[in-house]
Amino acid sequence: MAKSRNKTVFSCSSCGHEEPKWLGRCPGCGEWNSFKEKSLPSAPQTPSGFYAESPEPQKLSSIVLKDVTRRSTGIPEADQVLGGGLVEGSAVLLGGEPGIGKSTLMLQIALMAAQDQEVLYISGEESPRQIKLRAERLGINSDKLILYCESRVEEILTTLEQRRPGLVIMDSIQTIQSPSQGMVPGTVNQLKYGCFELINWVRRRDAVLFLIAHVTKDGAIAGPKVIEHMVDTVLYFDHSGNELRVLRATKNRFGSVDEIGLFQMSAMGLIQIGHPEGLFLESREGDLPPGISVAPVFEGSRVLLVEIQSLTVAAKGAVSRIFSDRVESSRVSRVAAIMEKHLGIKFSDQDIYINVAGGMKIAEIGMELPLALAIYSARTGIQIPSDLIAFGEMSLTGEIRPVAQLRRRLKAAEEMGFKRILIPEKSEETRDWTGAPPIIAGDIKDAIRKVFSAPQ
């Protein structure tokens, strides 16, 4: 009879890739000397699983659905991004740069949630006194808000079973660790294991989980991508300008990913900006400088009026360059190429700089026409009328195509005092517009002629 012995496997400490024997270099991630030997259990363990209460296969027709129950965070801007509030049994991943206000936002959400349920705030980075100091500065105090400074998964799960909180906040996932996954926190295996166990617990208990995550220098959430697949919602907290904070979703199983939440950082915490229509417009008296246009763009269910700024200068080298971090450089290059082809104006010997006032990033298709007007204005030195807005999509043939939600764009522009509009042909009815008769253009050549030959 053969002697029984414990089987072992070699696991990469960087990416979790496993091999039956030791290798110098991991074929999964390319790291050197990253394989560590670990023992395999002699008998397969029963996984906890997200749906351990019903392990048997079920017919789709026999599954009974429950009504989706949403809880308000008490912060309307956050509710809007989440799709209407928090869903029971869901997990939310929040990422952002250091010091941007992730912990502040979580404390404010925790305070509102603690009015009718217990909230467990788990911190692996700060002491209770540090969190208390921030809470006092924000005016936060509640007997139902429980602070727990721990990073070991087993201890956290034991506390969760004892207290059964309705809302759990983990700050941050990079500190979570379990002896079964090694002694170093922040590794790929530690993150996957710890997040899986926490997400599993809240789904079985119909609680809500917030996971705060670090980001890399490129702005992406640090750690394995599988964590973003495991959670229900992925949020990014970004800054636009000095004190302005933008909350946006890149994944949401229970709502849209098009909504944004706007906050302003102050000494008393994050303040919601409820009516941001003209927030990104510069205050000026008189005419606009050359290279400036105003565009009404859609961000989720909101219309924001933004100022697009353009500058063209002679290229310093043999190849022209585009400098644009608020609008995609490829889009700027395409718009410039369309104008060079159909207007005969040369941009191939120019460096083009594009900015959006207030630091807002714009991806909406309707900003292509005002972007073209701004670039043309900067190249020729001719001003755009200060009371004119424009919007439309540009095709490679030079045609201008209509965009959705015309009436809402016009309403926002009218409220901000704009009197003239440039719209594409075949746009929706504009009977509600009370300003000057709309300027209608079918292509970029027609639009340039009508805008820059009109009386200022």
pLDDT tens digits for 153-183? 999 999 999 999 999 999 989 999 988 887 7
Report pLDDT digits (tens) over 288-299: 899 999 999 988
CATH number of the structural domain 292-452:
3.30.230.10
Query: HSE-up of 170 (CA within 13 Å, CB side)?
Result: 30
Identify the pLDDT of residue 293: 95
Give the DSSP H or E segment for 239: strand 233-239
Identify the pLDDT of residue 242: 66
Mean pLDDT of the chain: 87
Is residue 42 scored above 80 in pLDDT?
no
Identify the pLDDT of residue 50: 42
User: Who wins on pLDDT, 328 or 180?
Assistant: 328
Report pLDDT digits (tens) over 109-139: 999 999 989 999 999 989 999 999 999 988 8
Q: 312: alpha, beta or left, given left = phi > 0 and alpha = psi -120 to 50?
A: beta
Contacts of 23 (CB under 8 A, 6+ apart): 10, 35
Give the least confident one: 122-126, 220-224, 349-353.
Answer: 220-224
Residue 107 backbone phi and psi in degrees, to 5: -65, -40
Mean pLDDT, range 373-378, rounded to an integer: 96
pLDDT tier at 40, thresholds 50, 70, 90? low
Mean pLDDT, range 259-285, rounded to an integer: 82
Report pLDDT digits (tens) over 62-82: 888 777 778 899 999 999 999
How far is 395 from 383, CA to CA, in rounded Å?
A: 24
Is residue 330 scored above 70 in pLDDT?
yes
How far is 89 from 388, CA to CA, in rounded Å?
A: 48
Neighbour tally for 132: CB within 10 Å: 14
Identify the pLDDT of residue 331: 95
Of the CATH numbers 1.10.150.120, 3.40.50.2300, 1.10.3430.10, 3.40.50.300, which one belongs to the domain with range 69-272?
A: 3.40.50.300
Give the least confident one: 38-42, 226-230, 243-247.
Answer: 38-42
Is residue 287 scored above 70 in pLDDT?
yes
How far is 316 from 335, CA to CA, in rounded Å?
A: 21
Is residue 342 scored above 60 in pLDDT?
yes
Neighbour tally for 158: CB within 10 Å: 12
Task: Please report, to the nearest 10 degrees, the dihedral formed by the alpha carbons of residues 447, 451, 452, 454 taken in order.
Answer: 130
Quick one: tokens of 110? 């925790």
Mean pLDDT, range 141-157, rounded to an integer: 93
Mean pLDDT, range 358-379, rounded to an integer: 92
CB burial string 345-361: b at 16+ within 10 A, e below: eebeebbbbbbbbbbbe
Identify the pLDDT of residue 52: 46
The three-point CA angle 423-424-428 to 5° equals 80
Q: What's this model's pTM, rounded to 2 decimal places?
A: 0.76
Per DSSP, 238 falls in state E
Is residue 46 scored above 60 in pLDDT?
no
Contacts of 125 (CB under 8 A, 6+ apart): 171, 172, 175
Give residue limits of the domains in the chain.
Answer: 8-39, 69-272, 292-452
State percent of the chain over pLDDT 90: 54
**What are the beta bridge partners of residue 235?**
94, 249
